[in-house]
Structure 1
Amino acid sequence: MSEFHRVTERLSVAPQLAPEDMAAAAAQGFKRVVCNRPDGEGPGQPTGAEMKAAAHAAGLEFVHIPFAGMPDAATADAVFAAVSGAAGPVLAYCRSGTRSVTAWALGSLRAGDHDREALVALAAGAGYDLSAVLPRPM
């Protein structure tokens, strides 16, 4: 089972999940799973369709917003909306969790939900260093 890293009350992130992790996520109170990993990115990785089926079987919503590298503005906004628009806590995942927390943080920054310093601190509390990727105020 993958480890879930809590960023905020509404968001936790994780490295690559497996279909069997969906029941554990539901048992921990998550309502939605967001996958930020493109299909076929790594060997043995479950597809988005497999993960969606497992999530639905566990009673979870599933949103697939795949991207590689740094997210563009539209992707960051979509990830932030998927988290903020959920009916409860969200678990987002990618290969390591970094891509998911980065996209959410950039979307949060663009929405004015948190400032840069708060986002860096929230990510650090979950074990991710965003100090080099979040834009500094002018």
Structure 2
Amino acid sequence: MDIRRLCDSYAVSPQINPEDVTAIKEAGFGTIICNRPDMEIPPSHHAEVVKAAAENVGLNFVKIPLTHQTMSVELAKEQRAIIDASDEPVFAYCASGTRCSIVWALGQAEDTSADDILNATSAAGYDLGGMRPTLDSLKKS
């Protein structure tokens, strides 16, 4: 498992195994968000399997499957609301962690500079520089 923190309250990762949820709990996370659609993975890793494992160790689990076609500011706001409402850090996963990083970036764009967002994602190994115009357009003045 490859946990990459974007900020104190949010980290991303490539696909996890159901057995990883104990380590996620021990790392201090309180919620897992699955951003990967089940159609991309074998049944052994479907969201319901990971959800059962997560709930078994006391973690919250939310499924917000994202594809390039379904990625939207509305889903970014939904994901941000989950992060903001959580008393403990949130852990999100997809195939590589990129979609989880993109949705976080979109959710932060209203009140965080594009520079700060892109520095955080870059430090975690995700080059989202091509998103700068979108992030700038979402920034409230």
**Structure 1 residue 92 and structure 2 residue 61: aligned?**
no
CA contact (8 A) 1:34 1:62 kept: yes
Q: Which runs of 5+ in 1 are unaligned?
A: none
Q: Which runs of 5+ in 2 are unaligned?
A: none
Q: Percent identity?
A: 35
Find the residue that maps to 2:126 and give its secondary structure. coil
Aligned to 1:116: 114
CA contact (8 A) 2:31 2:59 kept: yes
Post-superposition offset of 1:44? 5.7
Find the residue that maps to 1:91 and give its secondary structure. strand
CA contact (8 A) 1:11 1:90 kept: yes
**TM-aligned CA distance change 1:55 to 1:69, over 3 Å:** same
Letter in 2 for 1:40: M
Distance in 1 separating the partners of 2:34 and 2:60: 11
Q: TM-score w.r.t. structure 1 length?
A: 0.91
Find the residue that maps to 1:88 and give its secondary structure. coil
CA contact (8 A) 1:39 1:45 kept: no
Find the residue that maps to 1:137 and give its secondary structure. helix
Aligned to 2:2: 3
Q: TM-score w.r.t. structure 2 length?
A: 0.89
Distance in 2 separating the partners of 1:21 and 1:46: 11
**TM-aligned CA distance change 1:43 to 1:52, over 3 Å:** closer
Alignment of 1:11-90 (within 5 A): 11-43=10-42, 46-69=45-68, 71-90=71-90
Distance in 1 separating the partners of 2:106 and 2:135: 12
Aligned length: 135
Q: Deviations over 1:76-123 (max 9, x none)?
A: 11111121211111110000000001101101113x1x1111000011
For the aligned residues, what is the CA RMSD?
Answer: 1.5
Q: Please, which moves more after superposition, 23-32 or 75-84?
A: 75-84
**TM-aligned CA distance change 1:102 to 1:124, over 3 Å:** same
